[in-house]
A and B are shown apart, each in its own frame.
Chain A
């Protein structure tokens, strides 16, 4: 089955700096790669996703890049703000034969210091 590795597990940045989180996946058939933000005590919220026919996607301060050949994808947050502090999870999936399920990375705890 799919295996997703996420790095780093914790990330501390100064407000205004950029944050980058990287994930690798194992199943080349995966074609859907979402990123979730989870604040303390809340449900994971989808913040951006990318499908395998696209190499990069941007939404304001957030961008995701995908390298299908290397089987890795990354989340980039620019101009970080204290409200960006949360745990971020990457995931891979979208394989119909596998029931479209998502496999999650281990998570990255991001702390933005004012």
Chain B
């Protein structure tokens, strides 16, 4: 299965600032997904990123708050903008493997704390 490198692994940020999270995949993938996992909770999809098109955001998430880039088939970034303590969470990228192979794989996550 694909190997995903995600960074930073953790960060502590001041409210009002922005943080950009990067995901690098070792193979070309069509779709990349960005999830949020709040402490002790499940995974909530933020958006789906396709190369060459605008990201598709889920209900409750907007582009101004979570802008996403997908410049090629192996890389994507998620920015958490104008952060507040409520944004403290783990953010994970995930990729969709070729149908019939090993399913969806997650990056190691970014633990964000906003103070």
Partner of B106, one of A43, A99, A105: A43
Main secondary structure on A side of the interface with B: loop
Q: Are B43 and A104 in contact (CB under 8 A)?
A: yes
**Bound Cα distance from A104 to B48, whole angstroms:** 15
Q: Are B43 and A44 in contact (CB under 8 A)?
A: yes
Q: Are B104 and A102 in contact (CB under 8 A)?
A: yes
Q: How many A-B residue pairs have CB under 8 A?
A: 44
What's the tally of chain B residues with a CB closer than 8 Å to chain A?
A: 23
Q: Are B48 and A99 in contact (CB under 8 A)?
A: yes
Shortest Cβ distance from residue A75 to the other chain B in the assembled complex, whole angstroms: 15
- Chain A residues 39 to 60 lying within 8 A of chain B, measured CB to CB, are 42-46, 49
Contacts of B106 in A (CB 8 A): 43-45
- Chain B residues 72 to 115 lying within 8 A of chain A, measured CB to CB, are 92, 94, 96, 99, 102-109
What's the tally of chain A residues with a CB closer than 8 Å to chain B?
A: 20
Shortest Cβ distance from residue A5 to the other chain B in the assembled complex, whole angstroms: 11
A residues near B (Cβ < 8 Å) are 1, 32, 34, 42-46, 49, 89, 94, 99-107
A-B contacts, 25 listed (Cβ < 8 Å): A32-B103, A34-B103, A43-B92, A44-B43, A46-B102, A46-B104, A49-B103, A89-B42, A94-B99, A99-B31, A99-B48, A99-B50, A99-B56, A100-B31, A100-B96, A101-B33, A102-B33, A102-B45, A103-B45, A104-B42, A104-B43, A104-B44, A106-B41, A106-B42, A107-B42
